[in-house]
Every structure is written in structure tokens, then in C-alpha cells.
Amino acid sequence: MFTYQTTIKLHDTDAAGLLFFSNQFTIMHDSYEALLGKLRFPFASLIRKKDYFLPIVHAESDYRSSLFVGDRLSVGVTVEHLGITSFTLAYTIKKDKRRIVGVGKTIHVAIDKKSHTKIPLPDNLRRALRRFS
Amino acid sequence: MFTYQTTIKLHDTDAAGLLFFSNQFTIMHDSYEALLGKLRFPFASLIRKKDYFLPIVHAESDYRSSLFVGDRLSVGVTVEHLGITSFTLAYTIKKDKRRIVGVGKTIHVAIDKKSHTKIPLPDNLRRALRRFS
Amino acid sequence: MFTYQTTIKLHDTDAAGLLFFSNQFTIMHDSYEALLGKLRFPFASLIRKKDYFLPIVHAESDYRSSLFVGDRLSVGVTVEHLGITSFTLAYTIKKDKRRIVGVGKTIHVAIDKKSHTKIPLPDNLRRALRRFS
Amino acid sequence: MFTYQTTIKLHDTDAAGLLFFSNQFTIMHDSYEALLGKLRFPFASLIRKKDYFLPIVHAESDYRSSLFVGDRLSVGVTVEHLGITSFTLAYTIKKDKRRIVGVGKTIHVAIDKKSHTKIPLPDNLRRALRRFS
């Protein structure tokens, strides 16, 4: 499992005093970017150099506990499903490396940049993702 | 059905050129705030004056189409489920009032501000939400 | 003077209960995007079709009053300075169309997309901006 | 000088392909939160336990270079001015610890939470901030 560490910043919170719910998704994406970097598919080259995109077609989150500015989170990411043209990432968010405070999921589809149609996951990406499945 | 209008701003997009996926959730929440305002439960008084919170315990989104800066969206919101202590909102996002570009859902639970435990939805809130169910 | 209307959303605030300071800049940019739209230079075509960028090289804000979720703002925008290769926008943010709650400024430079060097402001943009100077 | 390390995330960028200008301010604030944590004034206790706020009354940034997703930044923070009721922080943002890509400033005022009026900077905070002046 890949693990990403972060801390809740003031800008992640809202006037109700806690993490704004959209920002759990943003933290999940931050950990996905770190995972891709680890797999040598840095986001910068994905956007600038590759001939495909990996847009998210579905995302979901459950919130089990209130989170406050300064809370230290570790996000575990696994590849839950590797399909022909898509993959699913599952996220488990813990506070202080112990208590699960949230879980989530994102589904990504490989899209050709030119034709804007689905394509099979490139082989090298598939092999890389398999490391965390 | 309650409808909220908005336009994709540059800050809603990312370097892939399109709406960043978390921001679909933020737009859904903006429409929820507008709906509560319409029902005379403005968020400001919810946060400052009420003795309960309505935190989100689950959120999900599907993305059916790429969205770009300047796209005009209308978000239809309905109360899909009214439970004892919770309610579910369903969102349908259209571009130019025609094509559905995304859908989503949020589940909210009533929590007592003092005891931090679940409570039945306050009667006046329940009656108000029923208008859009 | 061009005027843009908006409402503070929950996601604009932070756990201190008020508008997060960066988001005053975001609101200023939203009003700049609306002004460009009004001048028939929509941001989408600026990014996708024009051969120049207008990046911000300096930004500043003063904060005169606390702002809360639900506050209704009107942002007045004027072109304070029109230089050879740059322009300066000045923003005045009022609450309920009366009290000034914040002011700000952004300086934009015209940059050629290919050479990445400064270029004179295109004539049609200069003429358009002059309407609000 | 206090130094904070971070990486540009996809959500920090916009459809022009680069860091969205407001997010330089957010990154500056993230480094200020880290500095306060280092000084044993964690933001969480500032918001929840102290009898004063430190709102920003002025902020400014200069942008010297384009920043892209994945860029590694180090933010140097110094206390540029320690006044009676206010302090000024200066930020220097470097890419790969070498080239200065942006600079900025924030001015903070001590405000009593009850009376909402300016107060002298608390002595322990003043002493702590002096370490980075």
C-alpha cells in the first residue's frame, strides 16, 4: 500500500470549524499524484507529454470523524480494480496513523488526447499500477 | 426542484484544462447553500445560531462530460430521502440548461452541537426540506 | 466601472469563521473574468485561441472588515493603468452595495505564448480595457 | 529564517496550465501555519483557545516565474516588522531551493476576540516571533 502524509491546513477548513468535505477529495487526489510520482508517472509529464488523459468519472467519500486544522493524516492508497480501460483507487485516511477518519474511491478512465475516446490502459501504466493492487 | 445557476471560473479548473473533480462537489455545496437560503435556513445562522450541525457523512459524483472555464451550469437539487436523523440530496448538473454533464449526491446527518450525537431532524427543517422532495 | 455581484460561500471561509484571505483574490479574479466576458474576451478563448497570455505579476489586497458566509458582495473593477505591455486593475469590494470591506489590485503582463516574452498589449484588448479606465 | 517545503499540486493550478495566483497566497499561509506550529502556537489552539485573533489586514505577492504541477518549492519566512499591535511576515519562494520564483508579504493585527478591537501583541507571541526576525 502506498502511504501519503499530510496536515490539515487552515484553507482546508470552513466556518463550521472543520475540514470542508470537498477537500477530502482534494487530499485523496494529492495522494494519487504522490503515488503516480512514486511510479515514475509524474503528473507534469502526464499532462504535457503523454498522449492520453486519466480523467475521473466517479468519486465518493465517507466521513467518519471531524477533522480540524493541524490534524496529521496518513492516506493509504491501493489499486482496488484494474480494468481494460479504467482503474479504481481506494483511499483510507487515518488520523495520527491510527484511527480511520474517512475512506474514498476514485475511478479513472484512459482517454486518448486526440480522439477523446476511451483506450486500453497503456501497458507500462498498467504494470506500474499493479504494484499497489 | 430547486435550481442554482453558476459559471465555471478559472479557479475551478486545473492544468489538465478542465474542471477539477473536487470542485464539482464544491458547486453542489454552493447549490445546497442557495437552497437552504431559499428555505430560510441561511448557512450563516445554521453555523452561528442553531444548536445543531448538518455535516456530510457521504458524498459522491459522476462526471459525464468535460467542463471548461466559462461553461454555464444549472444545478437541480432535490431531497431524495428524508430519514429520521438524516437526509439525502441529489444533484443534476446541466450545461446550457440542456445536456447533463454530471450528477451527485450528499448525505447529511443532524448532530447536536453540545453532545456531538445524532438527533432527529428538527421539525421546521424537515418541513422545509419536504418542499423539494 | 464594471460591477460584479457574488455571495460568500462556505468554501470561501475557514475555521476562524470568516473569509479566508486568499479567497478575496479569487473573488477579484472572478470579477476580472466577468469583465473580460463583458468585453468579449472570454477566458475560454483567451486560453484556447489567443496567441498571448495575461499572467499576473503582482497582486495585493487590503482587508477592512470581516466577511462571513452569506454576505453579499459587489466588486467594482476599474482599469487603473494601461501601459505598453501591462495593465493594472483596481478592485473595490462592498458589502450590501454600501460599506467598503476590501480593496485590491492586480497587474497583468501580455506574454507571447510561443516566445514566452513580453509583447505590447494587443490593440483590440487595449481598446476594450479603455472602456473601464 | 524558517523554511517550509511543499510541492505544487494539480489543484493549485488552473486551465492556463500554471499555478493559480491566489494559491501563492495559500502556500504562503501554509508556511505561516508551519512557522506558528514550530513556535508552539499551533493554529488549532489559536482558533480554539486563545482570546485573540491574528487576522490579515494586507497581503501582496510578486510572481517572477511560471510554476507547474510537481514543482518543488521551499518558502523562507521571516518576521520583517514587529509593531505594537501588528507584525509583518515576508516570504521568499524558491524552486528547487535555488531560483526565486515569487515573493510576498502579509500583515497581521492582534484583535481581541470579545471586544473586536486591536490589542498589543501578547508578550509570549512577540518573544516567539522575534526568533525569526
Task: Band the pLDDT of B21: cuts 50, 70, 90.
Answer: very high
pLDDT exceeds cutoff 90 at A97: no
Prediction ipTM score:
0.97
| Touching chains, B (3+ CB pairs < 8 A) | A, C, D
Whether A66 sits inside 8 A of B57 (CB atoms) is no
DSSP letter string, A51-94: SEE--EEEEEEEE-S---TT-EEEEEEEEEEE-SSEEEEEEEEE
Better-scored residue on pLDDT, C1 or C13: C13
Q: Mean pLDDT across chain C, nearest whole number? A: 97
Sketch out chain D's domains with CATH numbers: 2-130 (3.10.129.10)
Mean pLDDT for D23-46 is 96
Is residue B123 part of the annotated active site? The answer reads: no
Q: Is the pLDDT of residue C97 over 90?
A: no
Mean of per-residue pLDDT scores for chain A: 97
Give residues with Cβ within 8 angstroms of C42, minimum separation 6: B70, C36
Looking at residue B79, its pLDDT comes to: 98
Subunit contact C21:D106, Cβ cutoff 8 A: yes
pLDDT, chain B, mean:
97
Grid cell for residue D43? 493554529
Distance of CA D15 to the CA centre of its chain: 26
The answer on pLDDT for D97 being more than 90 is: no
- How does pLDDT run across C11-41, given as a tens digit for each residue? 999 999 999 999 999 999 999 999 999 999 9
Site from A26, A57, A61, A64 to mutate, B interface, most B CB atoms within 10 angstroms: A61
Tell me the backbone φ, ψ of residue A34, rounded to 5 degrees.
Answer: -65, -40
- Section D53-72 average pLDDT: 97
Contacts of A37 in chain D (CB under 8 A): 70
Mean pLDDT, residues A78-100 taken together: 97
Task: State the best of B11, B14, B18, B21 to mutate against chain A, taking most chain A CBs within 10 Å.
Answer: B21
pLDDT at D74: 98
Per-residue model confidence as pLDDT tens digits over A28-52: 999 999 999 999 999 999 999 999 9
pTM: 0.98
Instruction: Find, in chain D, the residue whose alpha carbon is nearest to that of B21.
Output: D11
The C-alpha atoms of residue B45 and residue B8 are separated, in whole angstroms, by 28
Per-position DSSP letters for B59-96, written without gaps between them:
EEEEE-S---TT-EEEEEEEEEEE-SSEEEEEEEEEET
Which CA distances in Å does C10 have to B79, B109, B128, D48? Answer: 20, 18, 21, 19
pLDDT of residue D75: 98
Question: What pairs with residue B102 in β-bridges?
Answer: B63, B93
- State the DSSP string of C40-97: T--HHHHHHT-SEE--EEEEEEEE-S---TT-EEEEEEEEEEE-SSEEEEEEEEEETT
As a whole number, mean pLDDT of residues D36-53 equals 94
pLDDT at D101 over 90: yes
In whole angstroms, give the CA distance from residue A61 to residue A24.
Answer: 8
Question: Is B15–D13 a contact, with Cβ atoms under 8 angstroms apart?
Answer: yes
pLDDT band for position A127 (cuts 50, 70, 90): very high
pLDDT at D68: 97
- Taking contacts as CB-CB distances below 8 angstroms, the residues of chain D near A68 are 44
**Dihedral-angle region of residue B38 (phi above 0 means left; psi in -120 to 50 means alpha; beta otherwise):** alpha
Q: What is the mean pLDDT of residues D109-116?
A: 96
Contact criterion met (CB < 8 Å) for D70 and A30: no
The Cα D4–Cα B87 span in angstroms is: 42
pLDDT number for residue D15: 96
Find the chain C residues whose C-beta atoms sit closer than 8 A to any C-beta of A.
10-11, 13-18, 20, 22, 68-69
pLDDT > 90? residue A86: yes
Alpha carbon D112 to its chain centroid, in Å, reads 21
pLDDT tens track for C53-73: 999 999 999 999 999 999 999
Q: Choose the closest CB to B56 out of A15, A56, A63.
A: A63
Residue D25 pLDDT more than 90? yes
Average pLDDT of the residues of chain D: 97
Decide if B56 and A62 are in contact by the 8 Å CB cutoff: no
Question: Contacts of residue D18 in chain B, CB cutoff 8 Å?
Answer: 15
Neighbours of chain C (3+ CB pairs under 8 A): A, B, D
Residues of B in contact with C11 (CB under 8 A): 26, 29-30
Give the whole-number percent of chain A exceeding pLDDT 90: 98
- Min Cα distance D123 → chain B (Å) is 31
pLDDT tens, residue by residue, A109-121: 999 999 999 999 9
For residue A119, what are the CA distances in angstroms to A36, A80, B18? 19, 20, 19
Who wins on pLDDT, C133 or D13? D13
DSSP β-bridge partners for residue D72: D7
pLDDT of residue D98: 92
Predicted pLDDT at D105: 98
Q: Is residue B97 very low, low, confident or very high in pLDDT (cuts 50, 70, 90)?
A: confident
pLDDT score recorded for residue D115:
95
